[in-house]
């Protein structure tokens, strides 16, 4: 049984339990005998995941896994929140974090850069568009070219100013391109 098959079987068992609690299965991975479920609140909800949420999901999912035994051998179940600087692995993760500051490491350099940081302007199933912090230029990156990515936590109103500034400069850049 492949790791992908195990992950999908666990996803089918865990996702409905998590959804019934008003939460979302953010990510699921199996690494070195550790089955890690990351849970989050649904987009738009003001509060984050609580320790009570994590404990309850852990108990309910553990019981379901014990009952259905979707995995061969021994494993450790770990239930967590994605955190403030959350990993971005799927197109849905990126779509959820539009207008936030992200850090992206690429498999190979684009315009001489393997590391990008800036505001995530757009995301779809094929690629993302980031407005770079240091130059203010927009760069489009295919999901297949991304080695690793995460959100970057920015304290207080500095984050809002950064996002608004990047959106404004991005709009001005597009207007200049259209005018010329």
Shared domain check, 59 and 131: no
Shared domain check, 108 and 32: no
- Euclidean distance between CA atoms 96 and 106, whole angstroms: 20
Q: What integer pLDDT is reported at residue 157 of this predicted model?
A: 55
State the pTM of this model: 0.74
Cβ atoms within 10 Å of 37's Cβ, excluding its own: 22
User: Pick from 113, 82, 102: which is nearest to 153 by CA?
Assistant: 102
Those residues with Cβ within 8 angstroms of residue 6's Cβ, 6 or more apart along the chain or in another chain = 30, 70, 71, 72
Shared domain check, 13 and 33: yes
Query: What is the CATH classification number for the domain harbouring 72?
Result: 3.30.300.70
Q: What integer pLDDT is reported at residue 166 of this predicted model?
A: 53
Of 80, 104, 136, which closes a domain? 80
Shared domain check, 102 and 23: no
Q: What integer pLDDT is reported at residue 31 of this predicted model?
A: 87
Of 54, 80, 106, which closes a domain? 80
Per the structure, the complete domain to which residue 160 belongs is given by: 91-179
Q: What integer pLDDT is reported at residue 11 of this predicted model?
A: 93
Mind listing the pLDDT tens digit of every residue in the chain (180 residues)? 566 788 899 999 999 999 999 999 999 998 888 999 999 998 777 778 999 999 999 999 999 998 888 777 788 999 999 988 999 999 999 999 999 999 999 999 988 889 999 999 999 999 999 999 888 889 999 999 999 999 999 887 554 555 555 555 555 555 555 555
Shared domain check, 167 and 97: yes
User: Pick from 86, 99, 78, 6: which is nearest to 48 by CA?
Assistant: 86
Shared domain check, 136 and 109: yes
Shared domain check, 171 and 151: yes
Q: What integer pLDDT is reported at residue 73 of this predicted model?
A: 79
Shared domain check, 25 and 76: yes
DSSP character for 97? T
Structural domain includes residue 54: yes
Shared domain check, 99 and 62: no
Q: Number of folded domains in the chain?
A: 2
Of 27, 50, 80, which closes a domain? 80
Q: What integer pLDDT is reported at residue 161 of this predicted model?
A: 53
């Amino acid at each position: 049984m492949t790791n992908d098959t195990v992950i999908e079987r666990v996803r089918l068992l865990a996702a409905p339990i998590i959804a019934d609690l008003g939460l979302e299965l953010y990510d699921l991975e199996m690494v070195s005998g550790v089955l890690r479920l990351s849970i989050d609140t649904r987009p738009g909800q003001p509060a984050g995941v609580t320790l009570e949420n994590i404990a309850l999901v852990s108990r309910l999912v553990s019981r379901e896994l014990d009952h259905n035994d979707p995995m061969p051998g021994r494993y450790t179940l770990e239930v967590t929140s994605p955190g403030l600087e959350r990993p971005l692995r799927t197109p849905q993760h990126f779509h959820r974090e539009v207008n936030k500051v992200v850090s992206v490491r690429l498999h190979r350099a684009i315009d001489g850069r393997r590391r990008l940081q800036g505001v995530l302007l757009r995301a779809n199933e094929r690629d993302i568009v980031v407005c770079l912090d240091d130059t203010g230029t927009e760069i489009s990156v295919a999901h297949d070219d991304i080695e690793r990515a995460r959100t970057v936590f920015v304290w207080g109103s500095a984050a809002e100013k950064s996002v608004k500034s990047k959106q404004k400069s991005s709009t001005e850049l597009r207007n200049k391109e259209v005018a010329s």
